[in-house]
Amino acid sequence: MDKQQKTKLIQLGLFVVTLITTTFAGAEWTIGKFLILGMTWDDFLFGFNFSIPFLFILTVHEFGHYFTARYHKINVSLPYYIPMWFGFIGMASIGTMGAFIRIKENISSRIKYFDVGVSGPIAGFIVALILMIYGFRSLPETEYIYEVHPEYEVFGENFEERMMGLDTILLKSDLNADRLGYEALPDTISTARKGSISFGDNILMSLGRNYFAPSDRYVPSSKELMHYPVLLAAYLAFFFTALNLLPMGQLDGGHVLFGLFGPKNHAIISRVLFTGFLFYAGLGWVTTADLVNTSLEGIGNFVISIAIYLLVVYVSAYSVFKEKRDRLLYATVMFVVQFFVASIFKVEGYTGWLLFSVLIGRFIGVDHPSVVDNSPLSTERKILGWVALVIFILCFSPQPLVIDGF
User: Domain residue spans in the chain?
Assistant: 143-227, 284-348
Question: What pLDDT does 294 receive?
Answer: 73
Confidence grade of residue 171 (pLDDT, cut at 50, 70, 90): very low
| Residue of higher predicted confidence among 340 and 149 | 340
pLDDT tens-digit series, residues 84-97: 988 666 567 899 99
Say if residue 171 is exposed, middle or buried (CB neighbours under 10 Å; 0-12, 13-18, 19+): exposed
The 10 Å Cβ neighbour count of residue 133 is: 17
Is pLDDT above 70 for 184?
no
DSSP three-state, residue 31: helix
Percent of the residues in the chain that have a pLDDT greater than 90, as a whole number: 71
Give, in degrees to the nearest 5, the angle at Cα 254 between 248 and 260.
115
| Residue of higher predicted confidence among 1 and 133 | 133
Is pLDDT above 80 for 170?
no
CA distance 55 to 240: 12
Confidence grade of residue 54 (pLDDT, cut at 50, 70, 90): very high
Is pLDDT above 80 for 155?
no
Q: Calculate mean pLDDT across residues 139-155.
A: 83
Question: What pLDDT does 182 receive?
Answer: 44
Is pLDDT above 60 for 151?
yes
Is pLDDT above 60 for 279?
yes
Q: pTM for this one?
A: 0.90
Q: DSSP labels for 179-222? A: TTT-S---HHHHHHHHT-EEE---HHHHHHHHHTS-TTSPPP-T
Question: What pLDDT does 181 receive?
Answer: 47
Say if residues 212 and 201 touch (Cβ distance below 8 Å).
no
Is pLDDT above 80 for 405?
no
Q: Calculate mean pLDDT across residues 304-331.
A: 96
Least confident of 37-46, 178-187, 240-249, 250-259: 178-187
CA distance 396 to 37: 34
Say if residues 48 and 29 touch (Cβ distance below 8 Å).
no
The 10 Å Cβ neighbour count of residue 110 is: 25
Question: What pLDDT does 175 receive?
Answer: 44
| Residue of higher predicted confidence among 39 and 47 | 47
For 247-274, give one letter per residue: b (16+ CB within 10 A) or e. Answer: bbbbbbbbbbbbbbbeeeebeebbbebb
Average model confidence (pLDDT) across the chain = 89
pLDDT tens-digit series, residues 195-214: 578 899 999 999 999 999 99
Question: What pLDDT does 179 receive?
Answer: 45
Q: Calculate mean pLDDT across residues 313-338.
A: 96
Question: What pLDDT does 178 receive?
Answer: 46
Question: What pLDDT does 32 receive?
Answer: 79
